[in-house]
A and B are shown apart, each in its own frame.
Chain A
Amino acid sequence: MSGKPYRLPAGGSCIDRAKSISFSFDGKSLQGFAGDTVASAVLASGQRLFGRSFKYHRPRGVVGLGSEEMNALVGVGVGARHEPNLRATQVELYNGLAAVSQNRWPSLSFDIGSVNNKLSRFFPGGFYYKTFMWPKSFWKHVYEPFIRRAAGLGKAPEERDPDSYEHMHIHADVLIVGGGIAGLTAAEAAAASGVKVLLVDENPVLGGIADLSAGKIGDTTPAAYAASAEARLRGLSNVHILTRTTVVGHFHHNYLMAFERVGDHDPALLAAGAPRHRLWKIRAGQVILASGALERPLAFANNDRPGIMLASAVRALVERYGVAPGKNGVVFTNNDDAYLTALVLKQAGVGVRVADSRARPDGALVQQARAAGIEVNAASVISAVEGSHGVKAVKIAAYRKGQGRVITETRVDCDFVAMSGGWNPALHLWCHNGGKIKFDDAIASFRPNTHGDAIAAIGAANGTMNLAETMNEAVAAGEAAARAVNGKAKASKIKLPAIDEPQRGALEPLWFAPATGGYNEGNKHFIDFQNDVTAADLELAQREGYESVEHTKRYTTFGMATDQGKTSNINGLGVLSEATGKSIPEIGITTYRPPYTPYSFGSIAGALTGKLFLPVRRTPIFQWHTERGAVFEPVGQWRRAYTYPGAGEDKHAAINREILGVRNKVGLLDASTLGKIEIKGPDAAEFLDRMYTNTFSTLKVGKCRYGLMMNELGFLTDDGVTVRLADDHYLMHTTSGGADRISAWLEEWLQTEWTHYKVFVTPVTEQWAQFAIAGPRAREVLQKLESDFDVSNEGFPHMSFKTGRLGAYPVRIFRISFSGEQSYEVATPANLGRGLWDAILDAGREYGIEPYGTEALHVLRAEKGYIVIGDETDGTVTPFDVGLDGLVSKKKADFIGKRSLEQSYLKGPNRKQLVGLLTEDPQEVLPDGAYAVREVKDKPPMEMIGQVTSTYMSPTLGRSIAMALIENGKARMGEVISFPLEGGKVVKAKITDTVFYDKDGGRISA
């Protein structure tokens, strides 16, 4: 016996029988041909079983044709390249491909979870809600692990993904979704007028289901016509074609996402550097949806057995891959289209008969089938399926519309079933951004109605199920789209050939086929295969009062799986319609949400992984920090050196060394991240008076002043030192995190409120590398650096500014301090920064200069009681709350936030105020954010009166210090308050003022 017992001796338009491909499924070596999918090649080998279902672990096989496949989800690839939950019908074969089935344990054919099927009376619709409710403690230890284990379909790989992904942006005048006959024809019609056309199709080849369609276009088959249309389009420079690309979402203003599988089908491409997936972000002027239709399953007893497939999928299996679905099958249908499948099977030499639920089917295809000798049972349904891992036989019962019971039935041996309940237009993209739909009795489905965007649906996506109308719609839509783009009305350039297609009889909806025996767990009519929702579940939901379809959806999980209800939605509505006596339009339809099909996380992330995950901002000294072994700290997107541990030194020791270095000798800090903004113009001084709480119009040229900024709510939002460079020219410093925000803030007020001010604001943060040289020996270091200006204490006092040179380095230098020590901030152009940094270290070596990081900086400032915006403030703190009343002007009539400070809610008596804290045990460091309570109790709740905002072990003082915002804090000096910590411990601390070190401030101006 050959390895592929179901491969037909001839045929298969997609495969190349000369190219054999080796692959494996669940570890078993198999052979297929180039052009096969995993589904076709595995089916060719005789294997039907592809996985186990989600809830009941029922054996499942391939049902569909392409992206609508809901059962045959496989994991593909090994190790880091493993990707779970791929539809076997879409995975193209390549040499060495390794696929595995999912949701089975320990093996596919014997699965322990399938006991759920036997117990299914305990798993009715809504079982999650009914079962996993109580007791609460069971959630963590019993229910959740159970659900996780039982529900996990595929397994995510544990290693890092070795492949690359990317995004691409594209603009198209006309985007056409779907490359079947409709899409190709619309593309030709649109492209004829020269507009830029993008045609996107999710399959490897264009043509849609032209190859599975009957009829003639001109004198060729639909497939040959599609091929010629494609060739014409590929010859045009204004047409771009993307294959293996699924448009997964439609958003506002015709913005669409499309997911391209660039390298999945060919490892050689990946090895050559291709991205595995590419996510296209498309902006289209006009969108034409030619996304086709999806065939509906029929709801009959045990309609989920492996070997029961959609009629179109069976047809594709034979026509495209030369694979027989079995030896002998039954086509079960309520429409004419499935007769094509019967004819194809017959021609391929596969046994076939038809059960048609309609009383008198007599369309052209029906007649052809009869003429070909195919037995057709009209007014018949399948009432039972025998076999669990496959189909052994079915029972065909007489059926009359409205009849719920089986009266007579005939057993028919067969090993597969091809079912067709009609076709649903693929409405998903139409609905993503609010398109309206209407029910059409002729197709027993919804079709597009109106849409607010420039989007049109044509062909099967529009519910038009015949070739001639489809092509007319396509030409009209293509030309209308082009006209909408270029404004010109042109006579039609597209001459359509004559179309000859079989006359079709009407479809009659069949939402539920009566079953042999009782209507219970032995007889499941599956509606949503992927989430294991049956007709009985939907009816139960109705009986339990879930009248709205959206409630039913959530209660039963119907339509909520990754297939987004592609095959199940309308069938479910049909069942609900019969259960309630309401029409389907009255019931309504649940919301279609993006994505149309799942797309990879890799494609969503694109290139932005690893080093690109988040933009990291580097100061000019970044390399030095790295080489010095700095521990980095994120400050906004900046990476700042937190501390520089030496060999064998831990972080705490390093921070203490750095702090004492500044206090006793001299330290060097990279402060390049500080925001710097030049502000110039005749109204600059008045403008700054509006922006700051304090006054800058009185600042003398060459002097610095610390300023506070509030937002309009009266809350602190930024602070920093601003220097007056000239009468009409200031240089503002902001916090590192506030640089962009504050320059935008200044611009906003200038442009929107004080539009008459003549002021220019130019951010220059990154022009300068800026360093703090701080400590009692700072001046000596500066002197050694060949300054061309007076650095004496008298000539360069605290809060003054100079421009000059240190050797060949041009500098701006500020005598300002955030450490409480004598301190100079030196700025030099960024590209000279590293050179100057090295020079300062050289000059400072003999004074014992210590580079220090941001943590030392924070401790140094806390020892002095200086606030940090974002530590002492949280967006609800006023200048009064932090004791900076003196910096809030009483003279200025207006500045940002002033009026809000007078609002009643900010003047209440119990505001929290900033205080210092000294713990009773000096070695005890309060945790950051610890809460003070009014009264300690045995257990919560306890009334909270404030919280710690900054807390450190101060090496300078040899004890812990902290700052806190405490209710009425200023009036409570000396009071001891309690901080209950986790675990029952209570830390007591005395309220003090916030300045812990050098209270008279002598060191700063020394």
Chain B
Amino acid sequence: MLVVTCPVCGAEGDETDFHYGGQAHVRRPATHDPANISDEEQRDYLFIRHNPKGLHFERWRCDRGCGKWFHAARDTVSMEFKAFYGISELPPEELQAQAKGPWADYFKSRAKA
């Protein structure tokens, strides 16, 4: 039973007070260019998720608190939360630097933008 802290309202509680929302930083293609999405791009958006051993970026909702969505970085081995950050934010830079897979690319592209 994990202890989660909401970065929006500061509420701390058991994971059952929160709602896990899957992988973070997944881009929805249709929001940006609905007319030009390949089947592969849509497939990846819907189904392909990264499942690393170690650092994982994920979404949570403060279900029994302020109701807001937020992000968390968690080590899937030790179950330790490395950071909680806002739903429109990127993780702390040292965690961005440790990110692998699609997150690494995403953080780099956001840094350029």
* A residues lining the B interface (CB < 8 Å): 251-253, 255, 283, 452, 712-713, 744, 747-748, 751-755, 893-894, 898-900, 903-904
Contacts and interface: CB of A to CB of B under 8 A. Distances in A.
B48 interface: no
How many interface residues does chain B have, given as a range? 20 to 34
Contacts of A712: 28, 45-46
Interface in B32-74: 34-35, 37, 39, 42-43, 45-46, 59, 61, 67-69
B2 A252 contact: yes
Contacts of A898: 30, 34
A748 B2 contact: no
B69 A751 contact: yes
Nearest to A713: B46
Contacts, number: 56
B46 A900 contact: yes
A751 B87 contact: yes
Given A253-B79, A899-B42, 14 more contacts: A255-B3, A283-B3, A712-B28, A712-B45, A712-B46, A747-B67, A748-B69, A751-B87, A752-B59, A752-B87, A753-B31, A894-B31, A898-B30, A904-B39
B78 interface: yes
B46 A452 contact: no
Contacts of B28: 712, 753
A894 B67 contact: no
30 contacts: A253-B3, A253-B79, A255-B1, A255-B3, A255-B14, A452-B79, A452-B80, A712-B28, A713-B46, A744-B61, A747-B67, A747-B69, A751-B68, A751-B69, A751-B87, A752-B59, A752-B87, A753-B31, A755-B87, A893-B34, A894-B30, A894-B34, A898-B30, A898-B34, A899-B29, A899-B30, A899-B42, A900-B42, A903-B39, A903-B42
B98 interface: no
B35 A893 contact: yes
A548 B80 CA distance: 31
Interface string B85-98: 00110000000000
Contacts of B3: 253, 255, 283
A748 B67 CA distance: 9
Max chain B C-beta neighbours (<10 A), residue from A744, A899, A903: A899
A899 B87 contact: no
B1 A252 contact: yes
Contacts of B29: 899
A86 B61 CA distance: 43
A751 B70 CA distance: 9
Contacts of A899: 29-30, 34, 37, 42
A252 B3 CA distance: 8
A715 to B, nearest CB: 11
Nearest to A761: B67
Contacts of B19: 744
A893 B28 CA distance: 14
A253 B14 CA distance: 10
Contacts of B78: 452
Nearest to B67: A747
A741 to B, nearest CB: 11
- Give me the 9 closest cross-chain CB pairs, A-B, nearest first: A894-B34, A255-B1, A751-B69, A253-B3, A894-B30, A899-B30, A893-B34, A452-B78, A252-B79
A187 B21 CA distance: 40
Contacts of B1: 251-253, 255
A686 to B, nearest CB: 13
Contacts of A904: 39
B43 A903 contact: yes
A253 B18 CA distance: 15
Contacts of A255: 1, 3, 14
Given A252-B79, A283-B3, A752 B69 contact: yes
Interface string B75-113: 000111000000110000000000000000000000000
Contacts of B88: 755
A152 B14 CA distance: 38
A252 B75 CA distance: 12
A894 B21 CA distance: 23
Interface string B13-30: 010000101000000111
A253 B78 CA distance: 10
Contacts of B2: 252-253
A899 to B, nearest CB: 5
A284 to B, nearest CB: 11
Contacts of B21: 748
A751 B79 CA distance: 26
A837 to B, nearest CB: 32
Contacts of B68: 751
Contacts of A748: 21, 61, 69
Contacts of B67: 747
A888 B94 CA distance: 46
A897 to B, nearest CB: 9
Contacts of B46: 712-713, 900
A740 to B, nearest CB: 11
A677 to B, nearest CB: 14
Nearest to B24: A752
Nearest to B47: A713
B13 to A, nearest CB: 10
A253 B45 CA distance: 32
Nearest to B78: A452
A457 B42 CA distance: 52
A253 B4 CA distance: 10
A763 to B, nearest CB: 11
Nearest to B3: A253
Nearest to B35: A893
Nearest to A253: B3
Max chain B C-beta neighbours (<10 A), residue from A253, A255, A893, A898: A253
Nearest to A714: B46
A283 B16 CA distance: 14
A255 B45 CA distance: 35
B16 to A, nearest CB: 11
Nearest to A255: B1
A712 B39 CA distance: 14
Nearest to B71: A752
Contacts of A713: 46
Nearest to A747: B67
A638 B69 CA distance: 28
Nearest to A452: B78
A904 B38 CA distance: 11
A713 B37 CA distance: 14
A253 B16 CA distance: 14
Contacts of A747: 67, 69
A253 to B, nearest CB: 5
Nearest to B26: A752
A748 B69 CA distance: 7
B54 to A, nearest CB: 13
B72 to A, nearest CB: 13
Contacts of B39: 903-904
Nearest to B68: A751
Contacts of B69: 747-748, 751-752
A141 B23 CA distance: 49
Contacts of B61: 744, 748
A903 B29 CA distance: 14
A903 B47 CA distance: 13
B24 to A, nearest CB: 10
Nearest to B31: A753
A868 B68 CA distance: 31
Contacts of B45: 712
A152 B37 CA distance: 62
Contacts of A893: 34-35
A582 to B, nearest CB: 28
Nearest to B45: A712
Max chain A C-beta neighbours (<10 A), residue from B30, B43, B78: B30
A87 B38 CA distance: 65
A925 to B, nearest CB: 39
A748 B29 CA distance: 17
A486 B51 CA distance: 37
Contacts of B34: 893-894, 898-899
